[in-house]
Structure 1
Amino acid sequence: MFAKSRQRVLAAFIACCASSASAHTVWLESVDKSTTDYQVLFGGHAGKLEPYRPEKLKQIDAVDRQGKTLAVSRDVTADGVRLHVDGAPVLISMHFDNGIHTRPPTGRSVEKPMNEVPGATRATYAVKYHKTVVDWSPLVTQIIGQPFEVVPLSAKQPAAGEPFRIRVLQDGKPVAGVKLGHGEEGTASDPVTDADGVAAFVPKPGFNRLWAGKRIAVDDNPKYTELSYEYSFGFDAR
């Protein structure tokens, strides 16, 4: 399922690397069309995969149709992190902490708090969240309590080319002005959530990754000046 070029990129993930704080989301792809085995992927600009440190995966949860929590095991391999879900999942969710990235007076960003970089005045704390819908059911429309969360408004599997409505929540409350996009980031023409946190997303045929993101200015924090939330919502369109 995975191209050789993808595997070469993922094989490098064990090495530490500093990456840009923007437009890097985490998501799952099924291994050989399995509903229980998945590869964790981390993306960047222009559709490229990037390496990452497995300890940044802070949370992985899976639930079945009855809402029962299923055991999830992870395996760090040469081509990345693989997950195995014990049971029949309906929904899998993840939290990925990409750390604080500080821009020094000259040069590229470094993965350190701002107060550890002499002369720095800007830093971004990058936090990522994800859901994969394995099987559409009423459960997938429930709020699971992520600090930044995408929630579909219908339990019916989306159809390619037809608007699919979602709500974006921050700390459990609808948030306006959040851009949606395909893949890794939005464009100027993409939909934006309204006052109720709702926007319509038009899926493409096959597997989709709905992107949502928001940046929040932070005052009086010695470690960072901005909080970056990014979300990846993965599902198959019929």
Structure 2
Amino acid sequence: MTLKLLHILSYTQIFLNKNKQGVSKMELKKIAVGLTALLGMSVANAHNVWLEPASAQGEYVVKFGHEQTETYPESKLKSIQALNAQGKLTAVDYQFRNGEAYLMPKSDLVFVHFDNGVWSKLPSGKYVEKTKREEPTAEFSTNPVKFGKAILKWDAESFKSHQQAYELIPQEKAQANKPLSILVLHNGKPVQGIKVGVSEDAPFNLTNEKGIAQFTPTKGFNKVWAEFEENITNNADYDRRSVEYMLTFDAQ
């Protein structure tokens, strides 16, 4: 379990205990503010995007969320691309219905880019979806960006780099319960020390000096999560960026 969630659980337990003890409303309010701030941080950073089969044959839906999925504004969905027969990434047409994007890709490999806006931490500890320019007293402002890569069918392209800013590449076809090497790239280069696991709340492995981390798939649908951090300079709206990546595939 991450330190972030431990803090949230700790605040929740304190709140419940204090409420039973009949402490002052002011103290309860302070605890509630702390809990709200931590939850706000979780909403901003802990979510991911990925592709799931929809109800119609051949149709998929872009999901956004963490333990539970949520709807999202279409404006935050920056691109959906698929690999064409010439090995080039091209935009995929989609329909936006009830707060989610639906598509019928004609490709075995789909990439999703999602920008969750800018979130600022106020001196009170509260997180708000505003830029540092809009909240100049903010302690810091972060831009949470999400990337998803869906391997819908295994082929030679599943094991290649596709010139993405960030990419997770399995080194062989996934098999259930067999350790799988995952190559992690940033701007086409292997990255050491990146967390790779099922989610940020689960145990993870770190990439080695060659950018490789081990992941053991389960039978059926798998999600492989990784997280990156960027420090931003000369930007009036935010000073850091968090990048979460979700690779999905089926394993038999």
TM-score range, shorter chain: 0.7 to 0.9
Aligned to 2:217: 203
Q: Tell me which amino acid in the other structure corresponds to 2:95.
A: D
| Whole-Å separation in 2 of the counterparts to 1:192 and 1:203 | 16
Does the 8 Å CA contact 1:140/1:151 hold for their aligned counterparts? yes
Q: Tell me which amino acid in the other structure corresponds to 1:61.
A: Q
2:96 matches 1:76: yes
2:65 matches 1:43: yes
2:167 matches 1:149: yes
Q: TM-score, normalised by structure 1?
A: 0.81
| Whole-Å separation in 1 of the counterparts to 2:193 and 2:56 | 35
**Between structures 1 and 2, the one with greater helix share:** 2
Does the 8 Å CA contact 1:18/1:111 hold for their aligned counterparts? no
Does the 8 Å CA contact 2:227/2:242 hold for their aligned counterparts? yes
Q: Once the 2 structures are TM-superposed, how far is the Cα of residue 139 of structure 1 from its aligned partner?
A: 0.9
| Whole-Å separation in 1 of the counterparts to 2:91 and 2:104 | 8
Does the 8 Å CA contact 1:96/1:127 hold for their aligned counterparts? yes
Once the two structures are superposed, residues 183-237 of structure 1 have per-residue CA deviations (whole angstroms, 9 ceiling, x without a partner) of: x4254x4111011111110011210110000223334543222211110001011
| Whole-Å separation in 2 of the counterparts to 1:33 and 1:133 | 19
2:112 matches 1:94: yes
Q: Tell me which amino acid in the other structure corresponds to 1:38.
A: Y
Does the 8 Å CA contact 2:205/2:215 hold for their aligned counterparts? yes
Aligned to 1:215: 229
Does the 8 Å CA contact 1:207/1:235 hold for their aligned counterparts? yes
Aligned-partner SS, 1:20: helix
The number of residues matched between the two structures is 213
Q: Once the 2 structures are TM-superposed, how far is the Cα of residue 68 of structure 1 from its aligned partner?
A: 5.7
Structure 1 79/224 Cα, relative in aligned 2: closer, same or farther at 3 Å? closer
Does the 8 Å CA contact 1:219/1:225 hold for their aligned counterparts? yes
Aligned to 1:234: 248
RMSD: 2.3
Aligned-partner SS, 1:55: helix
Aligned to 2:196: 180
Aligned to 1:30: 53
Q: How does 1:130-149 map to 2 (within 5 A)?
A: 130-149=148-167
Q: Once the 2 structures are TM-superposed, how far is the Cα of residue 131 of structure 1 from its aligned partner?
A: 0.7
Does the 8 Å CA contact 1:27/1:232 hold for their aligned counterparts? yes
Q: Tell me which amino acid in the other structure corresponds to 1:54.
A: E
Q: TM-score, normalised by structure 2?
A: 0.77
Does the 8 Å CA contact 2:115/2:145 hold for their aligned counterparts? yes
Structure 1 186/192 Cα, relative in aligned 2: closer, same or farther at 3 Å? farther
| Whole-Å separation in 2 of the counterparts to 1:166 and 1:204 | 15
Aligned-partner SS, 2:158: helix
Aligned-partner SS, 1:52: coil
| Whole-Å separation in 2 of the counterparts to 1:71 and 1:99 | 22
Give 1 or 2 for the bigger CA radius of gyration: 2
Q: Percent identity?
A: 37
| Whole-Å separation in 2 of the counterparts to 1:166 and 1:33 | 31
Aligned-partner SS, 1:196: coil
Give the gaps of 5 or more residues in structure 1. Answer: 1-16
Q: Tell me which amino acid in the other structure corresponds to 2:140.
A: R
Aligned to 1:5: none
